[in-house]
Structure 1
Amino acid sequence: MKFPFTTLAAAALACVGTTHAAEVKYLLWDAMQLPAYKQCAADFEKKNPGTTIKISQSGWDDYWATVSTGFVSGTAPDVFTNHLAKYPEFAKNGQLVDLTPLIQRDKVDTAAYAPGLFEIWGREGKQYGLPKDWDTIGFVVNMEMAKKAGVTLADLQSMTWNPKDGGSFEQIVRKLSVDAAGNNATSPSFDKKKVSVYGYQTPRGAPGMMGQTEWSHFAQSNGFKFQDKPWDTKFYYDDPKLVETIAYIAGLPGKGLSASFENAKSLGSDAMFVGKKVAIVPQGSWMITYFKSNAKFENAWVPLPTGPTGTRATMFNGLADSIWAGSKVKDDAWKWVKYLGSADCQSVVANTGVVFPAIKGQAERAMEVQKTKGIDSSAFLTMAKSKTFLMPIADGGSEIDEVMKSALEGVLMGKTDAATALKAANIKVNELAKK
C-alpha cells in the first residue's frame, strides 16, 4: 500500500520525536554531594527518556580552571554549580544563559526558595541561576577539650566578642590554649612559644575580599559592611570597624592563642582540628559531614559570638546551577536545571543531610536527618535567624579578591599594620569596581 508523501514525512517526524537523545554534562565540586545528585540524575532520566545526565566532580582548586578553560575551548559543562564570587564575571562576559524567559514560560515558583536566594542570582532583569542550597557559618568545638577546661556547652553557645579584650570568646579560647607543660593561657606560667593545643584557628590563613569563614562574622558583628548593596562600586574595607577586627585576629598568634599565619596556611585549620591541635575553628554548614566522618572525638557546633552591635552575624551564601551559553543542548540543560531547583531533587538532597537545600522547609528536613546521625546542626539555623549578610558582589571580583588577599596576608604575617594596609587596598578596590 502506498502512502502519500506528506503522510510518510509526518511519520518520519514522529519517529524523530520519539527517539530524542541528548547528553547533558553537569559539573560540581563537592564530592560529599555526589551521591545525592546521582540519585537526582537517575530520577530525572526516568522522567525524561532519551536524556542522559553525565555528572563529573572536580575539587575546588581545579574546578574553576576547568570551567574557565572550558569556556574558551568549547568544552565547558552544559550545567555547573555556580558561586556568587564567580558568576558576575561569567555573566559580564556573556558565558551564562539568561534563565528569565524560561522561568516565565514554565511558571517556575521562585517564591518557593528561602528569602534572598533567588534574587541574588539576578541582575538588570536577567537571571543566571536557580538556587540549590544555602549555608551559614558556625564554630565547631572539641568538647573533650572544653569539658577538661571547665567550659560548658552553654558557655560556648552564649559567647560574646569585641576587638578590645576579646570578650568571653577570648576567655574561653585562653582556657582551651594549652602549652607543652599543660598550662593554659589564663595562667601566668603559660608559654606562648611552646603551645601544644591552640584555642582557636582562623581557616586557611589567607582570606580574600569575602572572609566568609575567616573574619566577616567578627567584622559584621562589630558594625562593618562591605558595600551598601550588591553591585555597588564603593567598598568600605578601610572602615575602622574592619581595621580593628583584622588587627585583633592578627594579634592572636602573638598571644599563643592561634598558630602563626605560616603554620596555619601549611597545615590547614580543618586538619589541625581533626588532629587535636586546635579546639575551635569557624566553618560552614557544608562541612558538617566532613567533621562527622573525620573528627574521632566528641565535638559540637555552636553559634558565632555576639559582637559589639549586640547581635551575631554570618554570611548567608547560596549556590545555584547555571547553564553555559555555549551549550549545544540548552533545552535539555534547562530541564535539568529546573529539576535540580525543584522539590523533587532537593528533597533527595535533604534526605542525605549533607547540605541545606534552598527550598523552604527542606533545611529542617536535612537537620532531622543529621540528628539521626548524632549531629546537632541547629547552630546554623540560629545563625540564619541572626543578622545575615550577602557576599560582596561587583564586577572585577577576581581582581578585587587578589588585592584584598595580598593586603590581609601582609597584616597576618606582621609585615604591615591593618590600618595602613586596608586604606591602601580600599583605594585600589574602588578603582577596580568602577572599571
Structure 2
Amino acid sequence: MTRTTPSSSGRALTRRSVLGGTAALGAAAATGALTGCGGSAGASGTTQLDYWLWDANQLPGYSQAIDLFMQRNPDIDVRITQMGFDDYWTKITASFVAGAGPDVFTDHLGRYPEFLKLDVIVPLDDFAEIAEIPDDQYQPGLQELWTGQDGKRYGLPKDYDTIAIMYDAKALEEAGLAPKDLEGLDWNPEDGGSFEEVLRRLAKDTSGTRGDEKGFDPTSIARYALGADAGIDYTGQSTWSPFAFSTGWTFTDEKTWGTRFNYDDPDFQASLDWYFGLVDKGLLPPFGMFGDSSPAQSQIQGGKAAIALAGSWMIGTYANLEGVDLGIAPLPAGPVGHPVSMFNGLGDSISAQSEHQQEAARLVAFLGSDDAQEIIGRRAVVFPASDAGTAAASEAYESKGLDVSPYTDRVKRGETGLYPLVENAAEIMAIMQPAFDDLWMRKIKASEFTAYNDKVNKLFE
C-alpha cells in the first residue's frame, strides 16, 4: 500500500472504525506500552503471539483473517496492535532496543535493509510452512523484493501497489472531455505529448481561461490540472517516477540491492525538468501551495485540481470523497512505448527476538495463503499479493462500480519498475530531499542532481 518512503508520513491513511473480527486488538497506540515477543501465555495455556500493523483501513480484514487462523490453530492466540505510521516505526525501533517487540509485524521495503543490518529479523526459508509456499503464489517480482543479498527471504509478500490516474468525471465534462480522452495518451519529456495537451485543457486560471487558450495566466490559477501532495521525495512513487520509468530509466545499477544510483542519467533529469516544469506552466501546484491538510484528494474534491496520480492503496479514500464522480485512468505511455508504474509491496517479517518463531511462521504462512488473501481482498482496501487475493479485490471494487484495471494491468503486462531496494535509505533521503525541494521551488535544474548523485553513491563505497 505504503507507498511513500517510510520517513515521511507514509501512505495517506484515514482512521476508520473496526468492523467485524474478534481477534484481540492491542492498545499500544493509546498507552505507548511495549508487549513482549510472545513471552506471555494466552488463554488456557495457548501460545500468545503479537502482530503489529499500521494501516487502520486494513485492520478489519486482518482481524477477520486472524480469527480464522486461530480457529484452525487453537493452540495459538494472536493479539493485534495497530498504530499510526510514524508511531509504528518509532515503537518498532524502541521495541527492538528493549527486546520487547512483536513476534510478527508488517514490514516496509524502505526499512527492512536496516533491520537486516541489525539482525533483528529472521530468514523465513528455514520454516517448513513458508518454504512449502510455491514461488508462483504471488505476483511476479514480489518475492524478489523481499529476498536479501544472501538469497534468503525476510518478508512474505502481503500486498502490492501500483499507480494510476484518479479524476472527477465532472471536471472532465466541464472541460469538454470524456473519460475515453484519458485513455491511450502518450508522454515524452520534450513536449509532454498528448498527456500534456490534456493537462493544458484541464487547467484554468482565475479569469476562466484554460491552459490551452490564448491569454492563460500560469501565475493565477483557479484549478491546476494535476494535484500534488505536500511533499515529493527521492522515490517519487506517485509523482515523477512513472514518467522517469517510462523512458527506460532505473533507480540503480541492479534490480535490487544496487550500489550505484542513476540520478545523473540524462533521461531521468529530462523527466524531472518536464515534471517540475509544469509549475511554470500553471499545471502543477508550486511548492508549499498545499500543505499536509490539503492532499491531492482534497484538491480534487475542492475543485483545486482536475486529476491526480495516486497509489492503489488510495482507491477507497478517493471513492469515498463526497461529491466526486470518481474515475480511474491508466498512466500515459512513455518513450518505451507503454506506461510504467512503480511496483511496491509490503511483507510480514518475524522478529529475531520472538520466543515463538515456529508459531509465528505458521501465522505468516497463513496470512500469505489464498484463504487469508481472499478475505483481505474482499475488503477492497488493497491488492493482496496472491492471484486469488487480487481477483477477490478486483471483484469487490467492481461491485462498487470501480474499474481498477488501470492498476492491475500494469502488473499483468509487466509494465512496472521496482521500488529502490537498497541500503542507506535514510541517508539517501537526507541527501536528496533538498534537491527535490529546490527543483520544485524552481531554484535549480535537474542537471544539478549529478552532484547529489555523487554524494549518494559515495555511501556505497
User: Same fold judged by TM-score > 0.5?
Assistant: yes
Q: How does 1:77-226 map to 2 (within 5 A)?
A: 77-103=102-128, 107-123=132-148, 124-208=150-234, 210-226=235-251
1:233-277 deviations in whole A, cap 9, x for unaligned? 111111011111111122112211111111134432232123221
Q: Which amino acid aligns with 1:35?
A: P
Is the aligned partner of 1:38 residue 2:63? yes
Shift of 1:104: 6.9
The residue that corresponds to 2:394 in the other structure is 367
- Post-superposition shift, 1:381? 1.6
**Corresponding residue for residue 410 of structure 1:** 438
Higher-Rg structure is 1
Q: Distance in 2 between matches of 1:20 and 1:100?
A: 28
1:393 counterpart residue number: 421
Report which of the two has the higher share of helix.
Answer: 1
Instruction: Quote the Cα distance in structure 2 between the aligned partners of 1:204 and 1:66.
Output: 25
**Whole-Å separation in 2 of the counterparts to 1:286 and 1:80:** 19
Cα distance between partner residues in 2 of 1:433 and 1:269: 35
Q: Which deviates further from its counterpart, 239-248 or 115-124?
A: 115-124
Q: Which runs of 4+ in 1 moved over 6 A?
A: none
TM-score, normalised by the number of residues in structure 2: 0.86
Deviation string, structure 1 residues 340-359 (Cα, Å, up to 9, x no partner): 11111101011112111111
Distance 1:211 1:431 in 2: 22
Q: Distance in 2 between matches of 1:106 and 1:419?
A: 46
Structure 2 residue corresponding to 1:236, chosen from 262, 274, 277: 262
TM-score between both structures, scaled by the size of structure 1: 0.91
Q: Which runs of 5+ in 1 are unaligned?
A: 1-15
CA displacement at 1:27 relative to structure 2: 1.4
- Taking the TM superposition and a 5 Å limit, the aligned residue runs for 1:261-272 are 261-266=287-292, 267-272=294-299
- Partners of 1:83 and 1:105 in 2: CA distance: 19
Over 3 Å counting, the alpha-carbon distance change for 1:307 and 1:391 in structure 2 is same
What is the identity percentage for the equivalent residue pairs of Structure 1 and Structure 2?
A: 38
Q: Assess if the C-alpha contact under 8 Å between 1:314 and 1:386 holds in 2.
A: no
| Corresponding letter in the other structure for 2:433 | K
Give the whole-Å Cα distance in 2 for the aligned partners of 1:246 and 1:365.
37
Structure 2 residue identity aligned to 1:218: F
Partner of 2:361: 334
1:274 pairs with one of 301, 304, 312: 301
Does structure 2 conserve the Cα–Cα contact (< 8 Å) formed by 1:403 and 1:425?
yes
Match of 1:319 among 306, 329, 346: 346
Aligned partner letter, 1:346? Q
Q: Which moves more between the two structures, 103-112 or 73-82?
A: 103-112
Cα distance between partner residues in 2 of 1:349 and 1:335: 18
Whole-Å separation in 1 of the counterparts to 2:372 and 2:72: 12
Structure 2: runs of 5+ lacking an equivalent? 1-40
2:34 equivalent in structure 1: none
Determine the structure 2 residue equivalent to 1:7: none
| Distance of 2:167 and 2:414 partners within structure 1 | 20
The 2-side partners of 1:140 and 1:260 are apart by 20
> Alpha-carbon deviation of 1:43?
0.9
Q: Who is 1:75 aligned against?
A: 100
Residues in 1 aligned to 2:414 and 2:385: alpha-carbon distance in whole angstroms: 18
